[in-house]
Amino acid sequence: MDNRPINADRLWADLMDLADITEPGRPWTRRAFSALYLTGRDLIANRMRAAGLTVRLDTAGNLIGRKEGRRTGLGTLVIGSHSDTVPEGGRFDGILGVAAGLEVARVLQERAIELDHALEIYDCLAEEVSPYGLSCVGSRAVAGTLTDAMLARTNDTGETLQAGIDRMGGDSTRLTDAKRTNIAAFLELHIEQGPVLEDETLEIGVVTAISGVTRVLIEVTGRPDHAGTTPMASRADALVAGAELVLAVRRRAESQSARGLGHFVATVGEARVIPNAANVVPQFMSLLLDIRSEVRADLTAFLAALEGDVAAIATHHVGVTAVLKPVSDNPPAPSDPQLMADFRHAADELGLKQRDLASGAGHDMAWFAHIAPSAMIFVPCLGGRSHCPEEWADRDAVAKGTDVLFETLLRADRRLAQTTPSE
């Protein structure tokens, strides 16, 4: 694509230069709150400045590059994502969204394009689960949902998240200053982290919603008998009952996913057995479920069915009881319909194959959606793999996504300026 607005080589160089800033021998690792993370942000800030942006840190430690608009009072268009990685993660998750914002700013600069709105590129602090056990630290602050309890969480060394934010250049005494009320639109570009676009050989996925994330714990309690002496018929084996519930979760999730109203998946990712000794019939098993639902009704139906399975354990297994306990519940964050339409039109104009799909993963967008019209797009990634060193997206694929982001920005700027009278 010779007439594409953005420079694919320049974008790729940003990605690879950031990838080089990794823990040696443990690619690709640039954890939020580390010294390496600050090194990565220095590179981003320098390239923001070279693209004509004014760089600042907000009080929550978000790194922001700003370009003023032709008009005032219109609010700000934001392109954002994050530059931190999980341990032994990839080179694209989050980083692509920040690099794409940077490239968009450079194209505006070199073509001397003036937007009506101000534009800000956000490198949000700590989108991945941080050493303090919390994800989306920066974007939660922008939405005003970072609580004192969250700030009091500690890392392995006992440092609080609050102190960590200050160490990253924030000012936790004025955290509410990071909250935004004047964002006209939030846009994000991200790798899919799933196999759908690759499987269907599509180039752009327009995200309909960030799925809600609900976590529940199933606790199964039996009796710790001697594994050698207790006859099979006399056992109350928590692992056997727990295994039935693992299969029930799978069966219910498959059926809910097939007949549901939107994206739906449920996973038992964590399982613990007590005492977990070779010669003792398991006394206890816990199962931590992660449930992602684009549509709330799917979650409700799934949990109602699962409650029945959990209650039935006591009747199927004499001496075994099971309970289901809520752990956390973040509702779905739907995309703004008009921004979705902007994305779709931009992709059509560029001749790119696209579809709508929900995001099963969490993103900074979910928090910006609390306070502003927000939307995001996906580009395909190899094998749907993510959060691993093998995470990969093609140069051409990320360039196409950035093209769409650029065209959508121009389109949203025009549309939103028209609907807001001049001052």
> What are the residues binding its own copies (CB under 8 A)?
192-196, 199, 211, 213, 215, 224-234, 237, 239-240, 242-244, 246-247, 250, 253-254, 257, 265-273, 276-282, 288, 290, 292, 359-362, 384-388
By beta-carbon proximity to its own copies, the closer residue of 117 and 252 is 252
User: Any idea which residue has 């395909």 for tokens?
Assistant: 380
Q: Would you state the structure tokens that stand for residue 38, as one six-digit string? A: 């600050």
Vertex 199 angle, CA 198 and 205, to 5°: 55
By beta-carbon proximity to its own copies, the closer residue of 132 and 406 is 132
CB 143 → its own copies: shortest distance, Å? Answer: 20
C-alpha distances in angstroms, 177 versus 121, 144, 184, 413?
17, 9, 18, 25
The residue among 327, 69, 338 whose CA lies nearest residue 217 is: 327
By beta-carbon proximity to its own copies, the closer residue of 93 and 403 is 93
Q: Would you state the structure tokens that stand for residue 178, as one six-digit string? A: 């990071």
CB 76 → its own copies: shortest distance, Å? Answer: 29
CB 276 → its own copies: shortest distance, Å? Answer: 5
By beta-carbon proximity to its own copies, the closer residue of 40 and 205 is 205
CB 169 → its own copies: shortest distance, Å? Answer: 28
Cα torsion 98, 102, 103, 104: sign: positive
Percent of the chain as helix, strand, coil, to the nearest 5: 40, 25, 40
By beta-carbon proximity to its own copies, the closer residue of 120 and 198 is 198
d(CA 62, CA 178): 8
CB 384 → its own copies: shortest distance, Å? Answer: 6
CB 292 → its own copies: shortest distance, Å? Answer: 5
Q: Would you state the structure tokens that stand for residue 224, as one six-digit string? A: 């710790």
Q: Would you state the structure tokens that stand for residue 319, as one six-digit string? A: 């001496």
By beta-carbon proximity to its own copies, the closer residue of 71 and 355 is 355
